[in-house]
Amino acid sequence: MTDPLDALSAPSTPVDPDPGFAAALRARLERALLDPRENTVTTTLAPPRTTARIRALTPYLAVTDAVAAVDFYVTAFGATRRGEPIVMPDGRTGHVEVALGDSVLMLADEFPEMGLAAPATRGGVSQSLRLEVADPDAVVARAVAAGATLERPVTDSPHGRGGVVLDPSGHRWMVSRDTAAARPGDVVYASLWTPDADRARAFYGAVLGDLGRLGIAADPQRSGLFCGYAVADVDAAVTVVRAAGGTATEPVDDHGGRVADCVDDQGLAFAVFQGPGPAVTVPEYAELRLPDATRARAFYGTVLGWGFAPNEFRTGFWNGTVDGERTRPRTGLDGGHAVPTVVPTFAVPDLAAATTAARAAGGTTDEPVTARFGRMASCTDDQGTPFLLLER
């Protein structure tokens, strides 16, 4: 018997998927197959949670005003209140706690009858507290805005990046970010190549302030970021560079180690370095723009041992990895550019202020856009060199 609904049915005709959907799905599949750390098709990763608790050593501070001190630590350092304060019969706070990261800080008002007084009352600091944070620049700026005294501005050192502030009670805080020793493939030194080094120092000083260990070098023929990458054996690396189609000078002793200047197989200059030292923290990101990203993946994978994870938001863009983790600082490859160069991304606490300063110093800035990792703006300096600003 014929089904009367057959007359209403129509054959199934396949149609091409939406190009945007296809590109996004392809990127997710590539990321799942090529990134050993995660499977983005089937899992969603959340950052690990840490629970503040009493550790083997817990600071217990005497402060001039415990209520105000808690407010300061919450505002300046991102502390979290723990429980309710214990208030003594005379109105003084006898005990209160805050969580800082995975640790606990205990506070109490001054009790001179017990010999407990804040540094501001005693007339000087007797100890320092080191606070490990992800962004010491932003934390020190918030602390100063909340009433702290700046003792030492944030700078880079062989032990990391950090600054020192005195809180309103006089306690000395070393706000720091530890910098681990560089792994092969990390950037261990970087400098901006520019036609006029003095102009560049004035421009980037006005926009960024402290440049950390970032150097500036004059080169009338080239502009952009020059990167020196850590390698375990510079002589072996030179051999590999040449075999992979690049060029390299003979290694020499410099920068406290052994170094060779190189050019990759698409004309981008870099260096390989063998020696001690941490990865650089400025810039935040280095984007290698090259004619052919596939060739670049083969070259830098061979020479530096980089792995690559596809960027799920940008087709043809690859993030560099070392031992399954992102390079330090982060790096990326982008193809389709006629002239090879490296474009740096600098982190700033206030994007509006930084873009205003860039324009005032003679540069240009596009309208800021919001990405999943923060607000950012594409810029050029007063000599036409491109860079990006990222609000952190």
pLDDT truncated to tens, each residue of the chain (392 aa)? 566 656 656 666 666 666 656 655 555 554 444 443 333 333 333 333 446 777 778 899 999 999 999 999 999 999 999 989 999 999 999 999 999 988 899 999 999 998 899 999 989 888 899 998 878 888 999 999 999 999 999 887 766 788 999 999 999 999 988 766 788 999 999 999 999 999 999 999 999 987 877 899 998 888 899 999 999 999 999 999 999 999 999 999 987 789 999 999 999 999 999 988 778 878 999 999 999 999 999 999 999 999 998 876 666 788 899 988 899 889 999 999 999 999 999 999 899 999 999 999 999 999 999 887 789 999 999 999 999 999 97
CATH code, domain with 271: 3.10.180.10
Give residue 376's domain range: 187-391
Gap between the Cα atoms of 268 and 231, Å rounded: 18
pLDDT of the residue at 135: 83
pLDDT of the residue at 41: 36
Q: Are residues 245 and 170 in the same domain?
A: no
Cα-based torsion angle of the residue sequence 167, 172, 178, 181 in order, rounded to the nearest 10 degrees = 160
Q: Are residues 150 and 213 in the same domain?
A: no
Q: Which amino acid is at 181?
A: A
Last residue of a domain, one of 178, 198, 227: 178
Q: Are residues 201 and 167 in the same domain?
A: no
Asked, for residue 28, whether it belongs to a domain, the answer is no
Q: Are residues 220 and 358 in the same domain?
A: yes
Percent of the chain with pLDDT over 70: 85
Q: Are residues 379 and 278 in the same domain?
A: yes
Gap between the Cα atoms of 66 and 372, Å rounded: 38
| Long-range CB contacts for residues 97-100, cutoff 8 Å, separation at least 24 | 98/70, 98/73, 98/74, 99/52, 100/52, 100/73, 100/131
Asked, for residue 244, whether it belongs to a domain, the answer is yes
Number of domains in the chain: 2
Q: With 0.85 as the threshold, say if the pTM is over it.
A: no
Q: Are residues 163 and 254 in the same domain?
A: no
Last residue of a domain, one of 132, 150, 178: 178
> β-strand 317-322 against 307-310: which pairing, if any?
antiparallel
Q: Are residues 139 and 215 in the same domain?
A: no
Q: φ, ψ for residue 19 (rounded to 5)?
A: -60, -40
Of the candidates 289, 323, 290, 291, which has an alpha carbon nearest to the alpha carbon of residue 306? 323
Asked, for residue 29, whether it belongs to a domain, the answer is no
* DSSP per residue, 51-82: -----SS--EEEES-HHHHHHHHHHHH--EEE
Asked, for residue 97, whether it belongs to a domain, the answer is yes
Q: What does pLDDT average to over the chain?
A: 86
Q: Are residues 153 and 296 in the same domain?
A: no
Q: Are residues 205 and 162 in the same domain?
A: no
Last residue of a domain, one of 156, 178, 200: 178
Asked, for residue 2, whether it belongs to a domain, the answer is no
Q: Are residues 141 and 192 in the same domain?
A: no
Asked, for residue 353, whether it belongs to a domain, the answer is yes
Asked, for residue 36, whether it belongs to a domain, the answer is no
Asked, for residue 75, whether it belongs to a domain, the answer is yes
- Taking each helix axis from N to C terminus, what angle separates 351-360 and 197-208, rounded to the nearest 10 degrees? 150
Neighbours of 67 (CB within 10 A): 14
Q: Are residues 119 and 168 in the same domain?
A: yes
Q: Are residues 174 and 191 in the same domain?
A: no
